[in-house]
Amino acid sequence: MLNVAMIGAGGVARRHRAGWIPQADASVVGVADLMAERAAEAAAELGAEQATGDYMDVLRRDDVDAVDICTTERTHADIAVAAAEHGKHILVEKPIATTLEDADRMIAAADERGVMLMVGQTHRFYDYSIAAKSAIERGEIGTPVYLRYSSGGGFWNQDWTGNRISAGDTGGNVVTNGVHIADLCNWWMRARPVSIYGQALNQTSPHLEMNDYFMFTIKYDNGAIAVAELSRANMPRSNQFKSIILLGAEGQLSSGMEDESNWVDGDGGMEFVGPEFQHGFTRMIGEFVRRVDEGGQSPVSGEEGRLALAMCLGAEESIRTGEVFKF
Ligand SMILES: NC(=O)c1ccc[n+]([C@@H]2O[C@H](COP(=O)([O-])OP(=O)(O)OC[C@H]3O[C@@H](n4cnc5c(N)ncnc54)[C@H](O)[C@@H]3O)[C@@H](O)[C@H]2O)c1
């Protein structure tokens, strides 16, 4: 049985709790959050014996094997390094950190202490992304050459003043949201990114200190290209759209908002039936537990998380300078 402490009991932690509860081989035994009442509520929901306002309290416990870090982006590095120093395996929410120096500190600390560091790139664990990955691995579309990933809509509350709209806390919109898609692009395209070009605007939510819409174009070392566009804060809130086209040298996958257009029907191949956002958090947590138990490789390594971060920091710089950012 893996004993786990959750650190951070805010928005995303709710979804992690729902992912921990069904794990037969793991048990959450402590919860820490700066806001002690949040920790207490979460601990009660999980049946965890400890709730604390100081994450060091859970790290000092000998019976805690692993931590699940669900705190504000900027805080990931210090908490993860301390966790590694206390010999705990680490699942950390995306983005791995907000600077490359912090990501490096986390990777080095985990390596030094021989603990697993897994970055919670949730999009790798949804049904839709796994179905695409399997189709690619089976060679059903040949080598991926072009990806267009559009996801838009304004589901952030417009009066939100929490840390999620502070570029200082999150690294900026491209960093905190773009890492999902940058990592997915890398995973699907199976090539090394060589450059990124970003553009962004803030026309519909000008009171936010960060962009409400961005797009980036990634060029890969095999000549493939991925174009992604993402919004989270644009108005009107009802303006949701989503479309993915993945073109391979020998076939393609595509999805839209309508169920019937999700991937392609094909005699046991390329199967994907919506809705697309299924099982992500539970599967991600399950993989973490399984790999820690087996002593295997991290399902999403620190280096992979760092690469997605480097790309998104590059896109943020590209947005500022108007230049293509080369790695
Ligand atoms: N995978 C996904 O789909 C997904 C979705 C949303 C958020 N996230 C990520 O999850 C992380 C948290 O985001 P959120 O929306 O839950 O934020 P949030 O603000 O709702 O919650 C963060 C919590 O962390 C706590 N916290 C901050 N610093 C702390 C510290 N030093 N010690 C203990 N607790 C501390 C805060 O008190 C708060 O309760 C971010 O990295 C974010 O990018 C991922």
DSSP string of 84-100? HHTT-EEEEESSS-SSH
The yes-or-no verdict on residue 75 having pLDDT over 70 is yes
Q: How confident is the model at residue 260 (pLDDT cuts 50, 70, 90)?
A: very low
Average predicted confidence (pLDDT) for the chain: 89
* Pocket lining: 171 vs ligand 1, CB cutoff 6 Å: no
C-alpha 286, offset from chain centre? 15
Task: Tell me the three-class secondary structure of 181-213, residue by residue.
Answer: HHHHHHHHHCCCEEEEEEEEECCCCCCCCCCCE
Average pLDDT, stretch 77-90? 98
The yes-or-no verdict on residue 301 having pLDDT over 60 is yes
Ligand 1 centroid from CA 151, angstroms: 22
* Pocket lining: 175 vs ligand 1, CB cutoff 6 Å: no
Which percentage of the chain shows pLDDT scores above 90? 73
Average pLDDT, stretch 34-60? 97
Atom of ligand 1 nearest to the CA of 71: 24
As a whole number of angstroms, the distance between CA 239 and CA 236 comes to 6
- Amino acid, single-letter form, for residue 113: R
The single residue listed with the structure tokens 């961005």 is 214
Ligand 1 centroid from CA 274, angstroms: 28
What is the per-residue pLDDT for 154? 62
What is the per-residue pLDDT for 278? 60
* Closest of 53, 59, 74 to residue 8, by C-alpha: 53
C-alpha 127, offset from chain centre? 15
The yes-or-no verdict on residue 36 having pLDDT over 70 is yes
* Pocket lining: 56 vs ligand 1, CB cutoff 6 Å: no
The yes-or-no verdict on residue 259 having pLDDT over 50 is no
| Bridge pairing between strands 251-255 and 241-248 | antiparallel
* Pocket lining: 44 vs ligand 1, CB cutoff 6 Å: no
Which percentage of the chain shows pLDDT scores above 70? 86
Looking at per-residue pLDDT, the higher value among 234 and 5 belongs to 5
Average pLDDT, stretch 264-285? 66
Q: What is the residue with the minimal CA distance to atom 21 of ligand 1?
A: 10
Average pLDDT, stretch 33-55? 97
The yes-or-no verdict on residue 9 having pLDDT over 60 is yes
What is the per-residue pLDDT for 262? 53
Dihedral angle over CA of 137, 139, 140, 145, nearest 10: 90
What is the per-residue pLDDT for 144? 98
For the chain, domains (ranges, CATH) are 2-121+283-299 (3.40.50.720), 124-278+308-326 (3.30.360.10)
- Amino acid, single-letter form, for residue 262: N
pLDDT single digits (tens) 136-157: 999 999 999 999 998 876 655 5
| Bridge pairing between strands 144-152 and 117-120 | unpaired
* Pocket lining: 38 vs ligand 1, CB cutoff 6 Å: yes
- Amino acid, single-letter form, for residue 198: G
As a whole number of angstroms, the distance between CA 65 and CA 293 comes to 11
For the entire predicted model, the pTM comes to: 0.93
Atom of ligand 1 nearest to the CA of 73: 41
What is the per-residue pLDDT for 241? 67
CB 119 within 8 A of CB 300: yes
Q: What is the residue with the minimal CA distance to atom 1 of ligand 1?
A: 122
The yes-or-no verdict on residue 43 having pLDDT over 70 is yes
* Pocket lining: 93 vs ligand 1, CB cutoff 6 Å: yes
pLDDT single digits (tens) 197-236: 999 988 777 777 778 789 999 999 999 999 999 887 665 5
Ligand 1 centroid from CA 177, angstroms: 13
* Pocket lining: 173 vs ligand 1, CB cutoff 6 Å: no
C-alpha 185, offset from chain centre? 12
* Pocket lining: 52 vs ligand 1, CB cutoff 6 Å: no
Q: What is the residue with the minimal CA distance to atom 33 of ligand 1?
A: 33
pLDDT single digits (tens) 161-183: 544 667 788 888 899 989 999 99
Average pLDDT, stretch 35-44? 97
- 11-15, 43-47, 112-116, 145-149, range with the lowest pLDDT: 11-15
- 108-112, 203-207, 301-305, range with the lowest pLDDT: 203-207
The single residue listed with the structure tokens 């560091």 is 117
Mutate to test the pocket of ligand 1, among 7, 76, 81, 93 (most ligand atoms within 8 A of CB): 93
CB 131 within 8 A of CB 106: no
Average pLDDT, stretch 122-142? 92
Atom of ligand 1 nearest to the CA of 120: 1
Beta bridge partners of 157: none
DSSP, collapsed to helix, strand or coil, labels residue 27 as strand
DSSP, collapsed to helix, strand or coil, labels residue 151 as strand
What is the per-residue pLDDT for 106? 98
As a whole number of angstroms, the distance between CA 268 and CA 221 comes to 32
